[in-house]
Structure 1
């Protein structure tokens, strides 16, 4: 463990990833404290200060109805993190169980589960999420459900490939010889060897979930106003480029910081787990 942490802290990019993620998480948790205008996260109108460029105390400027852009970006991080947590608390367990069963159970079960996974993987993720949101009402909850539905197959395929390789290892054959049940072998013997790859993918996917959620909101299919969302802020600001550049640039940078930080952290975790 000490060696793993030494590898983590010795890599400047890993440290940068930790710093960026800490900034995003702490900003979201303490948004009520650090934002200058907490009420601007909702349906507030201040036409006296509408569409103002960055200045004090509106360091990121104001939007088209006078709300502080910095405040709305910080509260939008809450929405993004909630989206990521919801998706990654459901999709990986579902995909992992399906991948284990497809890789270890009999050929009929494996074939059926693999074909089910292929159906979902055959459709581009954003297109599938858009199709789901086209049927459902655009809300935060439905957005999370749409992304979850399209995310589990990637974990199923990852765990399936690992399980197919592990099922011929000596420890699995030994468990079969002593009469261990299939469920015991899958969840007590094979699963621990799948977890490092799953955890690494979850960390990398957190950023991609935020990016996907922002894409849906950019298209008007995600979180709806007045709830602050990074994607919808970028979409709204894009109409007024280049004059009101801050409306798009700062929400876009916020997305970049979150995605970049989780990608760096995912790479760091992969190096740590390989070192153990």
Structure 2
């Protein structure tokens, strides 16, 4: 652990990513304590301070009904991180198992599973998510389902490539010679060698999941008002540019900070875990 932190801290950009991610996660966890106006995460209105520019009272200004944008961004980070964690918690196991058994077993199993993966990968991710939400009601839960549907094939493709290259290695052949079952070889022998690449991709993907989720909310297909979401906040403020610039700029910068932080941290983890490009 200490060695890993030393490697990350040796790279200024990776260290910046680690700090950004830590700040964002802590801000989301302690949002009720850090938000100047914690009640502004809902349908509260305060017309006396409506559409106010950034000030000492409201650091990031207020929206059209007087809600503090800084407070809403803290709560929006909660939504984004929860969505990212849930999506990856579902997509990673599904994609990993599909790729693992397709790569190791080969034959018709490989052909069938990877053709299914290819079908999903042939559709642009955002289009696939929009199609799913076109059938389902736009809610946070359904947004998670939509993003998960488009995300698992990427892990299947990643793990498939690793498993296919590992199945001819000596330790796998030795396990086959002694009669180890297929499940044991796949899960106990090959899978551990896939984890560095999986963990690195998960870190990088947190930023991409936040972008996709924000894009869906921007289009009105994700988290619905009055629940604060970075994408919907950008969409709402975009209608009042350039006069009320703070309504769009600060939520946009919040998205940028999250994506930037996870990408830099992912690059650092790639070096720590020795994952090849």
Quote the residue 1:208 is aligned against. Answer: 208
Instruction: Give the Cα separation in 1 of the matches to 2:21 and 2:180.
Output: 42
Q: Which runs of 5+ in 2 are unaligned?
A: none
Quote the residue 2:134 is aligned against. Answer: 134
Q: CA deviation at 1:4?
A: 3.2
Which aligned pairs between 1:1-276 and structure 2 lie closer than 5 A? 2-274=2-274
SS of the equivalent of 2:65 reads: coil
Farther off after superposition, 2-11 or 25-34 = 2-11
Could you say if the C-alpha distance between residues 126 and 6 of structure 1 is closer, same or farther in structure 2, counting changes exceeding 3 Å?
same
Could you say if the C-alpha distance between residues 2 and 41 of structure 1 is closer, same or farther in structure 2, counting changes exceeding 3 Å?
closer
SS of the equivalent of 1:185 reads: helix
Q: TM (normalized to structure 2)?
A: 0.97
Instruction: Give the Cα separation in 2 of the matches to 1:37 and 1:128.
Output: 37
The CA deviation string for residues 13-71 of structure 1, in whole angstroms up to 9 with x for no partner, is: 11111110011011111111111111110001111111110012101000011100101
Instruction: Give the Cα separation in 2 of the matches to 1:259 and 1:206.
Output: 8
Alignment RMSD: 1.0
SS of the equivalent of 1:268 reads: helix
SS of the equivalent of 1:143 reads: helix
SS of the equivalent of 2:274 reads: helix
Q: CA deviation at 1:101?
A: 1.0
Q: TM (normalized to structure 1)?
A: 0.98
Q: CA deviation at 1:2?
A: 4.7
Q: Which runs of 5+ in 1 are unaligned?
A: none
